[in-house]
């Protein structure tokens, strides 16, 4: 009996740890009206391909290679400029896509 309880406890712990480390993409829905409220350097959200990103911290970090160009996307659906940058360099790289995952906060409400 005791052995079973220890087993159950271990399985529960393992499931808990797995849930903690396997981060799922956020699914909170945000309307374009809500996104539009976050349109400044100090508070910048944008939609790209149906997902919503809060890139305020990324802008503040100064890590964006395209510098202030990113501000063009604040408060908007930035899919078009993200995939067709205004400086003529085309779409963002795979690396950029990996970076942005960290800033995802939800999905665009349909």
CB burial class (10 A; 0-12, 13-18, 19+) of residue 74?
A: buried
Helix or strand (DSSP H, E) at 60: helix 56-61
The least CB distance from residue 86 to ligand HEM, in Å, is 5
- x-marked contacts with ligand HEM along 14-53 as a string, rule CB under 6 A: ---------------------------------------x
CA distance 12 to 42: 42
User: Residue 81 — φ and ψ, nearest 5°?
Assistant: -75, -25
Site size for ligand HEM (CB under 6 A):
24
Looking at residue 56, what DSSP letter applies? Answer: H
Tell me: does residue 83 bind ligand HEM (CB under 6 A). no
Tell me: does residue 87 bind ligand HEM (CB under 6 A). yes
Nearer residue to ligand HEM within complex by CB, 15 or 96:
96
Nearer residue to ligand HEM within complex by CB, 6 or 97:
97
């Amino acid at each position: 009996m005791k052995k079973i309880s220890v087993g159950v406890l271990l399985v529960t712990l393992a499931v808990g740890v797995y849930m903690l480390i396997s981060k799922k993409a956020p699914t909170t829905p945000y309307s374009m009206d809500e996104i539009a409220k976050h349109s400044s350097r100090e508070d910048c959200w944008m939609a790209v391909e149906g997902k919503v990103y809060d890139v305020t911290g990324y802008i503040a970090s100064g890590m964006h290679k395209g510098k202030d160009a990113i501000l063009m996307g604040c408060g908007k659906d930035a899919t078009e400029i993200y995939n067709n940058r205004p400086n003529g360099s085309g779409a963002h790289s795979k690396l950029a896509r990996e970076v942005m995952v960290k800033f995802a906060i939800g999905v665009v409400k349909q």
